[in-house]
Amino acid sequence: MFNVEDVRRDFPILDTEVYPGVPLVYLDSAASSQKPTSVIAAMDDYYIHYHANIHRGVHRLSELATSAYELARQKVARFINAPTTEEVVFVGNATEAFNLVAYSWGRTNIGPGDEILLTEMEHHANIVPWQILAREKGATIRYLPIRDDGTLLVERLDEFLNKRTRLFSFTGVSNVLGTINPVTELVEAAHAVGALAMVDAAQTAPHMSIDVQALNCDFLAFSSHKMCGPTGIGVLYGKRELLEAMPPFLGGGDMIRRVTLEGFTTNDLPWKFEAGTPRIAEAIGLGAAVDYLNHLGIDAVHAHEQTITQYALESLSEVPGLSLLGPPGSLHGGLASFTLGGVHPHDIAEVLDKKGIAIRAGHHCAMPLHQKLGIPASARASFYVHTTFEEVDQLTAALHHTRSVFRLN
């Protein structure tokens, strides 16, 4: 285990006072994590010392920038144990990764009568691109249900996976419920009926180890900004044979090998899917974020979060009128979503903000899940490498205060 106080010194924003004399308690990492100094410094170093466009330049700055950009790809490949860097595509975010697969693989391989299986706990990014595709192609989307405790009804997979299923796309960890899903089991079930499997790892990659070879998933997506890296960049992992067979997503510079007035030939992987000037500084920042998480040890990160989350679930359960969402602690990722009496989550978040506590409130880009739960919205506190027991205590005390503000019995 790492020393949390040492880790906190790596995040300069944690010294912020939200209001005069009110220090920041940041419990919104599931939405976007804060950035350690090393990530900020790596991006500053690029802009100050060797900013240039990449891949096509032969001057020294371009060569340095190209090396740094591709080194970041190597770091990401090792981080998820991808067999080759050619299977690591830089995209804008996880949402773009889903759209890329839906547009490129989906429009080539999905037709009338085909089925796409999702789950009831998915983020909109893993619903809407498939809805667009299904409407266009005459396909059907089905949803694997969840239990009352927020876990998937995996024993009903046989009812939802069949010879018409072409893709099973699901989250590794729910961004609302915190549910840690049995990814390997779900991938194997998809492959057993001849379907592909895509994993939403946006809430997985920042918090626990990923081995795409062991998982044997066909596609996997995650975002940099949730794992100590910058906004504006994410990762699509895809098996090489699939990516090679897929047409380009966007057209333009860097994704081409040759262009004539009559047509074009695409570049090699992964640049085939990286049209235009890429996200150079962001990739370098993501590489630095991977270095930082590797320095802490991703298993230590997960262990710390499990300890904090269990403590938070126990503490919050003692707040009268508070209802926690999701499964027990052993199956729960690093967040706690809840409702409090009849108080709207936005009102809860506003009261907490005056105490310097940043949480999320709303549907968390998971409206169908909230409809399933029978609630319009929820409040969510999410934890990360810098979260302390004292901050959880401050959250709990602030929720008791919220009860008094709204005069809850």
**Which amino acid type is present at position 383?**
F
Alpha carbons 341 and 318: distance in angstroms, whole number: 13
Helix/strand/coil (H, E, C) string of the chain? CCCHHHHHCCCHHHHCEEECCEECEECECCCCCCCCHHHHHHHHHHHHHCCCCCCCCCCHHHHHHHHHHHHHHHHHHHHCCCCCHHHEEEECCHHHHHHHHHHHHHHHHCCCCCEEEEECCCCHHHCHHHHHHHHHHCCEEEEECECCCCCECHHHHHHHCCCCEEEEEEECECCCCCEECCHHHHHHHHHHCCCEEEEECCCCCCCCCCCHHHHCCCEEEEEHHHCCCCCCCEEEEECHHHHHHCCCCCCCCCCEEEECCCCEEECCCCHHHCCCCCCHHHHHHHHHHHHHHHHHCHHHHHHHHHHHHHHHHHHHCCCCCEEEECCCHHHECCEEEEEECCECHHHHHHHHHHCCEECEEECCCCHHHHHHHCCCCEEEEECCCCCCHHHHHHHHHHHHHHHHHCCCC
**Which amino acid type is present at position 396?**
T
Q: Nearest CA to 316 among 225, 381, 365?
A: 381
365 is catalytic: yes
Catalytic site residue from 14, 193, 365, 375: 365
**Which amino acid type is present at position 294?**
N
Catalytic annotation, residues: 365
